[in-house]
Amino acid sequence: MSIGLMARSLVESPTMRLNEEARKMRERGEPVIHLGIGEPKSPTPVDAIRSAMAKLSDANIHYTPTDGTPELKQAIIRYMDDNYDRQAAPDQVIASGGAKQSLSVILASILNPQDEVIIPAPYWVSYPEMVKIAYGVPVIVHPEDGRFQPRFSEIADAVTSYTKAIILNNPNNPSGAIYSEDFIREIVEFSEKKGIWLIMDDIYHKLVYGGKSCVPATRFTERDIDDSKIIILNGISKLYAMTGFRIGWVVAPRKLVNVMIKVQGHGSSCPPAVSQAAAAGALNGIQSMVENLRLTLQNLRDLMVQELEGFNGVRITKPDGALYCLADFRAYSNNSEELADFLLKKVMVVTVPGSAFGMEGFLRLSFCKNVKDITEGIARIKWALDTTSPNEIFINDHKLVRDWL
């Protein structure tokens, strides 16, 4: 079988691999606790359901315009106005099948082979691979000493004549860090001066805690959307707990959106019509569910931080946003993949190795779970790693004996 070089260079997502392993264990009746994936499980907003049902009852479900229905685009324009204080025009907006597809269409539209894209670590696991799929070169910037806040100079020093874009995810998956306003301002000014695209992945921008806020990058430019280098990426997956509908969007200069329409048109024609109706319903509907989700997550974050702070040897920086704690387990292992495999095998807890995010020695734990999973999951990890804990525990009716320390 002949496989292309680019595809061969891709790394399997550890999240997907561990998910699959956990699924098989669950099928065998093993009481797995999943602190891996970050997926809000709130019910779909009622306005989204109503709007999708109305579309279905119409029995008129066909291709839509490639860049999305006028209704969805109007809803996105309103969202921009409400949350970014920016007036976008319909031809500066394109909806896609999830923010992930939006990003791959952006990259396919802006990159030449060998163009470089700067990505500060820790980064979302898919960014480097998506850049490679578009025949670009991911350039990872590792902040000094494992900090979660990159310095402007570290990014600027990584720029070469091949640099085409910088990707920032704010707040950040996996660290939960919100970048400082000074940093965002400097990056916006720099990218506009240098003519480098600044892709802002804002998928978690309202999931922020403890009175913190995440200021949109657009606040730091005087330029209008067509003259700016900022590309806004967002979607309904996280804020509205609508991962299964697969709708994301981009707001960008119309020249870029025009190219993206060509790319997307040849790739997938358009996002699914029923999902677009649901997304428009969610965006136009009652917004209290977003705040309810945020408050629930804030409590769960506090609980997870408290449990991790009581864990000898584990170091934790309190996340200000998103769905995850990125905890430093280097006191226990410098190989996070081995550690995650060990925890799954020995105490049936799914975590994601920090190596997948450019942070070896760390584990990402999602607090987008229930209270029992968080407390019991962390208790099991403690039991597995802490030599001072008793030699046996019971998990449901499974008796576990520690025979590895």
Ligand X SMILES: Cc1ncc(COP(=O)(O)O)c(C=O)c1O
> Which of these segments, 16-24, 96-104, 343-351, 371-379, binds ligand X (CB under 6 A)?
96-104
Binders of ligand X in range 283-322 (CB under 6 A): none
| Residue 42 touches ligand X, criterion: CB under 6 A | no
The whole-angstrom separation of Cα 349 and Cα 378 is 8
The whole-angstrom separation of Cα 197 and Cα 100 is 17
| Residue 243 touches ligand X, criterion: CB under 6 A | yes
The whole-angstrom separation of Cα 234 and Cα 90 is 16
Q: Supply the DSSP string of 380-404, one letter for each residue.
A: HHHHHH-TTS-SEEEETTEEEE---
| Token code pair at residue 121 | 């670590």
Binding-site member from 203, 231, 278, 359 for ligand X (CB under 6 A): 203
The whole-angstrom separation of Cα 398 and Cα 16 is 26
| Token code pair at residue 2 | 């002949």
Do the Cβ atoms of 80 and 88 come closer than 8 Å? Answer: yes
262 phi/psi in degrees, rounded to 5: -65, -50
| Residue 120 touches ligand X, criterion: CB under 6 A | no
Residue number with the smallest Cβ distance to ligand X: 98
| Residue 235 touches ligand X, criterion: CB under 6 A | yes
Do the Cβ atoms of 342 and 329 come closer than 8 Å? Answer: no
> Which of these segments, 46-54, 98-106, 386-394, 397-405, binds ligand X (CB under 6 A)?
98-106
Binding-site member from 84, 124, 197, 383 for ligand X (CB under 6 A): 124
Cβ closer to ligand X: 124 or 383? Answer: 124
| Residue 275 touches ligand X, criterion: CB under 6 A | no
| Residue 176 touches ligand X, criterion: CB under 6 A | no
Cβ closer to ligand X: 269 or 334? Answer: 269
Cβ closer to ligand X: 109 or 366? Answer: 366
The whole-angstrom separation of Cα 142 and Cα 124 is 14
The whole-angstrom separation of Cα 140 and Cα 167 is 10
| Residue 47 touches ligand X, criterion: CB under 6 A | no
Judged by CB under 6 A, how many residues of this single chain contact ligand X? 12
| Residue 45 touches ligand X, criterion: CB under 6 A | no
> Which of these segments, 69-77, 159-167, 235-243, 251-259, binds ligand X (CB under 6 A)?
235-243
Amino acid 384 reads A
| Token code pair at residue 34 | 């999943």
| Residue 205 touches ligand X, criterion: CB under 6 A | no
User: Site residues (CB under 6 A) for ligand X?
Assistant: 98-100, 124, 169, 173, 201, 203, 235, 237, 243, 248
